[in-house]
Amino acid sequence: MAENDLSPYEQARLENIQKNQALLASLGLARASAAQAAESVAVSGRPAKKARKEPRLPSLSTRRSSRLAGKDASDDSVQAGHAENIDGDGQTSLGVSVPPMYSDMPLEALELDPHEFQVFVILRRWRLRRKNELQIEPYKVAQTRSLCEVIRRRRNNPKWATVDPSSELLQVWGLGPAKVKLMPPGFGHEMLAVVSSPECTTLLEKSRKLGDGEVPAVL
């Protein structure tokens, strides 16, 4: 059984983020070694070796968001040019991840920053598991736009949906009373449990350090 149901582009973006994270981690170790070498030179008086040039981070090819292009993702003319990016709930994922404006609610995963996107991947795994358990279509669990909006709302406000979760979940696009109720299948509350996990909490804390239009180190 597949681990996730990401589109080819979403999977490529996830792999790119993971590669960049590994590269940044290796660069961190390299800088620590350089600092130790400099300290050794200061003590011994021997000249330092020439520093190696740091490699550039890889990036995905540039693609334009349907929101930025001012086009509806359901437009036939748009889909004809980007047929490879069809979401599991029938939505078309167009464009590239661009520095987000956090006051906006995202319509698609490409409008999430890299930290938010990793939370999105975790939510998509949850959605796939629940869809398989119940033998229903993914959108009946939650539509992608709903997942993205839950992530952004919790990112913008760590206390969001903690005091009166049901009322606040009803503010999310695509979440009606049936998906918000506490008794199964209360998918809205399950989504909150996922984004409240330690892993997701850490990722959203990293996202909060970014400002509008800021390009993070991990693309």
Judge whether 60 and 16 are in contact, CB under 8 Å: yes
With beta carbons less than 8 A apart as the criterion, state whether 131 and 155 touch: no
Residue of higher predicted confidence among 126 and 28: 126
Give 92's strand partners.
Answer: 86
Q: Judge whether 204 and 122 are in contact, CB under 8 Å.
A: no
By the 10 Å C-beta count (0-12 exposed, 13-18 middle, 19+ buried), 86 is classed as middle
Half-sphere exposure of 103 (CA within 13 A, CB side): 2
How far apart are alpha carbons 47 and 179 in whole angstroms?
Answer: 66
Q: What is the pLDDT of residues 155-212, one digit of tens each?
A: 999 999 999 999 999 999 999 999 998 877 789 999 999 999 999 999 999 999 988 7
pTM of full prediction above 0.85: no
Of the pLDDT bands very low, low, confident and very high (cuts 50, 70, 90), residue 49 is: low
pLDDT in tens, 92-138: 343 445 678 999 999 999 999 999 999 999 999 999 999 999 999 99
The HSE-up count of residue 132 (CA atoms within 13 Å, CB side) is 11
Q: With contact defined as beta carbons under 8 Å apart, do 98 and 107 qualify?
A: no
Question: Does 75 have pLDDT greater than 50?
Answer: no
CA 80, distance to chain mean position in Å, is 26
Question: Is it the case that residue 4 has pLDDT exceeding 80?
Answer: no
Q: How many Cα atoms occupy the beta-carbon half-sphere of 115 within 13 Å?
A: 24
Q: Give 86's strand partners.
A: 92
Tell me, what's the pLDDT at 184?
76
